[in-house]
Amino acid sequence: MKRDLSWMGVLTTVILLASATDANGDPDSTSAVASAEAAGEDAQVPAIGPTWLVLAVGYDSASIWDGVTWTSHSIPRDAWSESGVVYTQVAWSGSLLVAMGATGGPPVTSTSRDGVTWEYRGPIWMGESLTGLTWAGTSFVAVGSFDGYNAISFTSVDATSPWTGPVIVYEASYFDGPAWNGSTLVASGGKGCMSPPFDCQGILGTSTDLLHWTVVPVPQPFTSMEVMPNGTSFMAVGTDSTSRCVFGTSPDGQNWSAAPLPFAKACFAAASDGSQFVVIGTSSSDARSAFVSQDGVAWMGPFALPPGADYRAITWNGSRYVAVGSSASGDAMSATSPDGETWIGPVSVGLRYAQTRGGLISFVAPPRIDRVSPDAAPPNGKGSVLIRGNYFQTGATVTFGEARSTRVRVTSAATITVTPPANDPGPVDVTVVNPDGQTATLPGAFVYRAPRR
């Protein structure tokens, strides 16, 4: 029997990289590069795809889960937020994270490229509360209420320049939880909430241009609902006229299929891995629980969530469902599950007051460059260089200053072997661009040195 030994080339490359170390014990020296090349340019390296991380926001901070541990990072504040900011919403454009929260005054935002380093951006406007945030293809959209009587929305392409708005929607009292499916923006909400007879009725607002809204009653059997994106479609949880939990799906935000979810007393949020839906809420006995369905009609459960937290948010990170809620003391806790049925937790998230559905998302980690070794070459660009960092993807490009390398091998998520292109003498930045467009730059990381005369 003939055996396939192609995997040995990969193993050899890994072993050589791991055994070649510099004086500091780091596997990113010239010897490591030479060892990688000795393994063969044509060695079969498995395709390296994106790494999904989970981000939760809370009081003055954000926390990232890498699949193993949570790491908390502070978000700076200024005079507008002397008492701190409770961030309740976060959205991701594909390259930029925006967190939105309240200070006891106007709603404010902060931005980050990686969820680690944040920059405070200040108030969106000086009016009433904004309670929902999403990315809608070309702009971030924030929604809420003006004085409780009219719904409003704002847009910004990057959350760094002034927000455009408000767009006032007189047919609704408020909007919440906007969701985007690639062509339509949908926001749930209510109307008549602040006017006699104070009979707040559930509504849906839809928009295709982010400026003009169409408002209709929520579809039956919903009386109130919260909408979430599901790829190119939508899903929603809510209640009917008897306060039963209802789950629904829609391809376009206008035509819905919905029905009560058996065994559930309340529903808070939903997530999908593309093959099934998982809803978190409470069972008929008020126990924090999860419910699972492959079609949104026939449900299994309840499956017990770990005690110790009021789970209100859930996301899928590519391999695990992650649910987050607050403990009785206000500390954020998480639970994880591969299938929505068996859960592990609770684990501390490292935040305070992370308990809203819109305050938890999954996002693709941008590349990160830690070191470039060797860090110099002659202007003709000969030789090999090892770039060490994290979250590199197959197909990444590398530039030295303005010159792009034509020989790039992503050997792992943490290493790239590259031949530097010819360049003028002097220091240059090294930039890695992943296929999804996210970038990392290490300023002045490489020097082209002219030969001595």
CATH number assigned to the domain comprising residue 35: 2.60.40.10
* Boundary residue ending a domain (331, 364, 397): 364
SS (H, E, C) 313-352: EEEECCCCEEEEEECCCCEEEEEEECCCCCCEEEEEEEEE
**pTM of the prediction?**
0.86
Winning range, highest mean pLDDT, from 145-149, 194-198, 305-309: 305-309
Task: Tell me: do 375 and 244 sit in the same domain.
Answer: no
Q: Would 302 be classed as within a structural domain?
A: yes
CB 128 within 8 A of CB 145: yes
Task: Tell me: do 315 and 200 sit in the same domain.
Answer: yes
| Residue span of the structural domain in which 185 resides | 52-364
From the list 441, 358, 293, the residue with the least C-alpha distance to 99 is 358
Instruction: Identify the CATH number of the domain in which residue 325 sits.
Output: 2.120.10.80
pLDDT for the residue 102: 82
Beta-carbon contacts of 405 under 8 Å, excluding residues fewer than 6 positions away, are 397, 398, 399, 418, 419, 420, 421
Chain centroid to Cα 223, Å, comes to 30
The count of structural domains within the chain is 2
- Token pair of 401 as six digits: 């200053």
- Strand pairing partners for 182? none
Task: Tell me: do 120 and 56 sit in the same domain.
Answer: yes
CB 100 within 8 A of CB 87: yes
The answer, yes or no, to whether the previous bond of 443 is cis (omega within 30 of 0) is no
| Backbone φ/ψ region at 291: left (φ over 0), alpha (ψ -120 to 50), beta | beta
Q: Would 1 be classed as within a structural domain?
A: no
Task: Tell me: do 345 and 375 sit in the same domain.
Answer: no
Q: Would 356 be classed as within a structural domain?
A: yes
pLDDT in tens, 49-107: 999 999 999 989 999 999 999 999 999 887 656 678 889 999 999 999 999 998 777 88
Q: Would 170 be classed as within a structural domain?
A: yes
Q: Residue 124 is which amino acid? A: I
Per DSSP, the three-state class of 73 is strand
Going by DSSP bridges, is the β-strand pair 408-412/415-418 parallel, antiparallel, or unpaired? antiparallel
* Boundary residue ending a domain (364, 382, 398): 364
* Boundary residue ending a domain (364, 397, 412): 364
Task: Tell me: do 214 and 278 sit in the same domain.
Answer: yes
pLDDT in tens, 331-361: 999 999 999 999 999 999 999 875 667 899 9
- 28 has a pLDDT exceeding 90: no
Task: Tell me: do 347 and 414 sit in the same domain.
Answer: no
